A and B are shown apart, each in its own frame.
Chain A
Amino acid sequence: MTCIRIIRFAGLYIQTSTYVTYYILFRIILNSLINSEFRNKFGKKVVISRVIQDVYIIFKTRSVMKRREFFRKSVGAGLVTGAALSLGGYKKIWAATPVSSEQFDLVAVRGGEPGVMLDRGIRQLGGMSTFVKPGQTVVVKPNIGWDALPERAANTNPLMVQEIVKQCLNAGARQVYVFDNTIDEMTRCYRNSGIEKAVKDAGGKMVPANTEGYYSEVKIPGGKRLQSAKVHELILESDVFINVPVLKNHSSTRLSLAMKNLMGVVWDRRYWHSNDLNQCIADYATYEKKPHLNIVDAYNALMRNGPRGVSKSDVTNMKALLISTNLVTIDAAAARMFGMEPATVSFIRKADEMGVGSTNLENIKISRINI
């Protein structure tokens, strides 16, 4: 008892002194930060102190405009002199059209560690430089929906994501962004999935997706039930979009795959659930901003109790990986890997009927690699 008291007291005094130190450090960092200069992603020089001066003006106009818009408008009005961002050049969205593989429609790798399998699979398609050109921005969308550790396979394997980010940067990508509209609380998902650390170590950027301000309304002309959706701005603005789902069982859609993973780039998922979930998933797959590359992580696959999983006993170490540029092809192949016929999975069948791709795996070129 005395011991606990002493420890508690020690804690009390240690924290007191730590916070004083923190405060001093904070001031030092703040001062140096305020006077520092750096280059932003558009290559423009930015002085923080000037930015701070303009914050007041921005706050006044903030409430009426959307988060991104208010800044742009104030920029347009020439209010932010130091950080005059020329956003015109930034609009070259989707300049790079999806590059389909010359040789293969589907690459399937088996028997290696995540990074090794990915490297091998991507080389089969001509390397990451086939998809990512120097100076482009890349957005990687793994499944980070759950506050669960990597071995639970509720989220995409962090090593897989790390390797993707590395390869993109090696191919000359200006920046690689990673995000997911998580279901559990975002910071916990990012942290406990191991993806935040993996991405930062590889040199990519974790981007939040937890407020509506990040999403812009888009039309989905091909949709039957889903005619419009609020999509994350990075999906709309980045040059290359890489979709990295994990192979999972799902309680209502049976499987969670590449198309299902795209639910994490939109804001209002409740609408999907209340308006024929499977149809909405297929509808969104018709949207023009499709992933340029789909990579299904089946290193660890969640075989039951999906999409969250209850314990490690739900996971099997499949050690497999699928890569394709087509959403339906990869989902059909992944369904087979799981042991299900693609036609029995409602959203895959619906997407096939709507012409997003074909579930027929007989007539396509498949590269099968065993490591």
Chain B
Amino acid sequence: MNLAKLKRMRVIVSLVFLFCTALVFLDYRNLIPENIISGILYLQFVPSLLKFMNAVGLSVLGFIIVILLTLLFGRIYCSTICPLGIIQDALSWIARKFKKKRKRYYRYSTPHNLLRYTILAVTVLVFLFGSVLLISMLDPYSNFGRFMTYFLKPVVVDANNNVSSILEEFDIYALYPVLLTKVPFKILIWPIIVLVLVIWLSVTRGRLYCNTVCPVGALLGLMSKVSLFRIGIDGEKCTKCSLCARVCKSSCMNYNEASVDFTRCVGCYNCLTVCPAEAVKYLPQTTGITRSMNWKNTGHIPESDDKPDKNKRTFIKGSMAFFLGMAGMKMIQDTPVNKKPTEVPEEKEFPVSPPGSCSIENFNDQCTACTLCVSACPTNVLQPSFMQYGLSGIMQPHMDYHSGFCNYDCTICTDICPTGAILPVILEEKKLVQLGIAQFIRDNCIVHTDKTDCGACSEVCPTKSCHMVPYEGSLVIPEVLEETCIGCGACEFSCPTTPYKAIYVNGNAIHMVAEKPSEEELTVPEGDDWPF
């Protein structure tokens, strides 16, 4: 097989993946069916791993496929599947077009192994101790998701709204405008930091982010040490022309010593394409060809001899990370917090986590804040939280009943969540999932204060748990039936009082099952006579 074809294939497949993944986040009309969305995100490493750990079922095996691919061919995930990796490639490709010729090329550099494995170890440890905080901050897929939802989707929606308003002038109402809830700046701080870092590193140093910061990159890098197929340099054929190192985004081609740091290789196959002497090979390691090429002919020390040393180092780093992790735990462990003791009317005891998340704790443990659900939610009720869940849950979405309410007949978020933080719920079950219970504050209510009819809360209640009961004169005032309330927040959203609502939903730390609203037989007097 022509090795040049490998690179072309990689480029095509990666662009398809990038396009599809981006589309999933930008699909503001929910046009893509849920199962296709899960298909597109099937191979995303971290979400798939988390979903698997939540014991959802063995059908979630995307990460195992990725591991197998890595064990066979190296970090294919990083080049072709990881959306953040692909945009880095695209950025550095564009940047190279504008650079001076001398600066246009990469060169070999030593790995930042200490930093790299420390980040990995700390992330893993913090995760093992029960917080996904670092995973959600560093996971490339989740970061990509946040870029899409926070930075690109508003642009797309704005474009849609502008085009639709122009088309309407010509009496074409094919595009409806879309409303977006503005994300507070404090939520955007971390995504901006990562975006700047990613752009800067990819423009100047290729894939340095993936080989230093990204924990997935580090983990797959460790695995690729034992990959079946590896890239190696044939010391006999190599003319030391340096072309391979110049095109290597990972800076891992050490042509002087005819060795390749395969832990950093993201499998972009640029080197295979450019080598004029056909000295760069991509062959099974067990055939012995690579072995002879790499070590015997160049007289270089076999890689296996390096291993004990590295293991020792990783161990030291690991234990260091352990203590770091332990230190961090104290801050993280106390979620969800009781913000206030009960009986404080305006303050919610718990935030409301989305339907299907089962409990706030489960949600906090699984969600990597990729914001796919935020992007897909048709009513904008899912909004990123800041400190509502505590530090560990930063950026994770919560039900924000000031920007919308949960549509009674909708299960989109439960169907698409790739990490298993929101588990699939069938519609009939979802209608009974009690996210929280509405609390009525009579002293804030219009009916009580103004002595006029309102009933906005009862009007929108899908289960009529918030119903109107006689008050003074002919007035009616809301009353909440807690058994059937599902905490959808329609009442809270609709309540017109300011600044505090007269009705609000207090989240359930553990989701409950509400009673089904009663369906009594309707007694209607029969008859065809006219009442007038």
On whether the beta carbons of A274 and B173 are closer than 8 Å, the reply is no
CA distance A40 to B166 in the complex (A): 12
**Which residues of chain B have C-beta atoms less than 8 A from A252's C-beta?**
453-456, 458-459, 468, 476
On whether the beta carbons of A278 and B453 are closer than 8 Å, the reply is yes
CA distance A62 to B165 in the complex (A): 11
Using A205-B173, A274-B446, A336-B531 as known contacts, say yes or no to A251 and B468 having CB atoms under 8 A apart: yes
On whether the beta carbons of A274 and B524 are closer than 8 Å, the reply is no
Is B496 located at the chain interface by the 8 A CB criterion? yes
On whether the beta carbons of B408 and A147 are closer than 8 Å, the reply is yes
Using A213-B165, A346-B474 as known contacts, say yes or no to A337 and B452 having CB atoms under 8 A apart: no
- How many whole Å from B510's CB to the nearest CB in chain A? 26
Interface size on A, residues (CB 8 A): 82
Q: Which one of A95-103, A121-129, A162-170, A309-317 contacts B?
A: A309-317
Is A15 located at the chain interface by the 8 A CB criterion? yes
CA distance A85 to B458 in the complex (A): 46
On whether the beta carbons of A274 and B454 are closer than 8 Å, the reply is yes
**Which residues of chain B have C-beta atoms less than 8 A from A183's C-beta?**
459-460, 494
On whether the beta carbons of A40 and B171 are closer than 8 Å, the reply is yes
On whether the beta carbons of A85 and B169 are closer than 8 Å, the reply is yes
CA distance A269 to B493 in the complex (A): 13
Q: Which residue of B lies closest to A51 (CB)?
A: B166
Interface residues of A in 47-92 (CB under 8 A from B): 51, 55, 58-59, 62, 67-68, 71, 83, 85
On whether the beta carbons of B522 and A313 are closer than 8 Å, the reply is yes
**Which residues of chain A have C-beta atoms less than 8 A from B173's C-beta?**
205-208
- How many whole Å from B255's CB to the nearest CB in chain A? 36
Is B409 located at the chain interface by the 8 A CB criterion? yes
**Number of A-B residue pairs with CB-CB distance less than 8 Å in the complex they form:** 187
Is B343 located at the chain interface by the 8 A CB criterion? no
On whether the beta carbons of B58 and A1 are closer than 8 Å, the reply is yes
Q: Which residue of B lies closest to A20 (CB)?
A: B16
CA distance A46 to B450 in the complex (A): 54
Using A213-B165, A252-B453, A308-B460 as known contacts, say yes or no to A185 and B407 having CB atoms under 8 A apart: yes
Interface residues of A in 180-229 (CB under 8 A from B): 183-188, 192, 205-208, 210-211, 213
CA distance A71 to B446 in the complex (A): 41
Q: Which one of B38-46, B66-74, B344-352 contacts A?
A: B38-46
On whether the beta carbons of A11 and B36 are closer than 8 Å, the reply is yes
On whether the beta carbons of A311 and B519 are closer than 8 Å, the reply is yes
Q: Which one of A112-120, A239-247, A287-295, A299-307 contacts B?
A: A299-307
Is B464 located at the chain interface by the 8 A CB criterion? yes
Interface residues of B in 50-104 (CB under 8 A from A): 57-59, 61
- How many whole Å from B400's CB to the nearest CB in chain A? 15
Partner pick for B517 among A83, A310, A368, CB 8 A cutoff: A310
**Chain B binding surface SS class:** loop
- How many whole Å from B76's CB to the nearest CB in chain A? 15
**Which residues of chain A have C-beta atoms less than 8 A from B408's C-beta?**
147
Contact flags A348-371 to B (C-beta < 8 A → 1, else 0):
000000000000010000101010
On whether the beta carbons of B452 and A251 are closer than 8 Å, the reply is no
Is B23 located at the chain interface by the 8 A CB criterion? yes
**Which residues of chain A have C-beta atoms less than 8 A from B39's C-beta?**
8-9, 11-12, 15
- How many whole Å from A351's CB to the nearest CB in chain B? 15
Interface residues of A in 144-187 (CB under 8 A from B): 147-148, 175, 183-187
**Which residues of chain B have C-beta atoms less than 8 A from A71's C-beta?**
165-166, 169
Contact flags B482-505 to A (C-beta < 8 A → 1, else 0):
000000000000101100000000
Is B309 located at the chain interface by the 8 A CB criterion? no
On whether the beta carbons of A5 and B59 are closer than 8 Å, the reply is yes
**Which residues of chain B have C-beta atoms less than 8 A from A277's C-beta?**
452-455
Q: Which residue of B lies closest to A306 (CB)?
A: B459
Contact flags A1-43 to B (C-beta < 8 A → 1, else 0):
1001100110110011001100000000000000000101100
Contact flags B407-424 to A (C-beta < 8 A → 1, else 0):
111100000000000000
CA distance A46 to B462 in the complex (A): 46
**Which residues of chain A have C-beta atoms less than 8 A from B474's C-beta?**
346
Interface residues of B in 288-314 (CB under 8 A from A): none
- How many whole Å from B67's CB to the nearest CB in chain A? 15
On whether the beta carbons of B459 and A308 are closer than 8 Å, the reply is yes
- How many whole Å from A353's CB to the nearest CB in chain B? 16
Partner pick for A4 among B59, B168, B458, CB 8 A cutoff: B59
Is B221 located at the chain interface by the 8 A CB criterion? no
On whether the beta carbons of A211 and B170 are closer than 8 Å, the reply is no
Is B151 located at the chain interface by the 8 A CB criterion? no
**Which residues of chain B have C-beta atoms less than 8 A from A332's C-beta?**
532
**Which residues of chain A have C-beta atoms less than 8 A from B35's C-beta?**
8, 11
Q: Give the one of A184, A211, A251 with max B CB within 10 A.
A: A251
Is B263 located at the chain interface by the 8 A CB criterion? no
Contact flags B224-253 to A (C-beta < 8 A → 1, else 0):
000000000000000000000000000000
CA distance A270 to B473 in the complex (A): 23
Is B185 located at the chain interface by the 8 A CB criterion? no
Using A1-B59, A252-B459 as known contacts, say yes or no to A303 and B496 having CB atoms under 8 A apart: no
**Which residues of chain B have C-beta atoms less than 8 A from A307's C-beta?**
459
Partner pick for B23 among A5, A11, A19, A253, CB 8 A cutoff: A19
CA distance A111 to B526 in the complex (A): 12
Q: Which residue of B lies closest to A175 (CB)?
A: B171
Query: Can you list 19 A-B pairs with a CB-CB distance of less than 8 A?
Result: A5-B61, A8-B59, A12-B39, A12-B43, A19-B20, A51-B170, A58-B166, A183-B494, A187-B29, A187-B176, A252-B454, A252-B459, A252-B468, A253-B453, A273-B454, A273-B496, A274-B446, A304-B522, A370-B528
- Excluding A185-B378, A210-B177, A274-B454, 4 further A-B contacts by CB distance (< 8 Å) are A106-B532, A186-B176, A205-B171, A208-B176
Interface residues of A (CB under 8 A from B): 1, 4-5, 8-9, 11-12, 15-16, 19-20, 38, 40-41, 46, 51, 55, 58-59, 62, 67-68, 71, 83, 85, 106, 108, 110-111, 147-148, 175, 183-188, 192, 205-208, 210-211, 213, 250-253, 269-271, 273-279, 303-305, 307-308, 310-311, 313-316, 318, 332-333, 336-337, 339, 346, 361, 366, 368, 370
Q: What 3 A-B pairs are tightest by C-beta distance, nearest first?
A: A252-B455, A11-B39, A336-B531
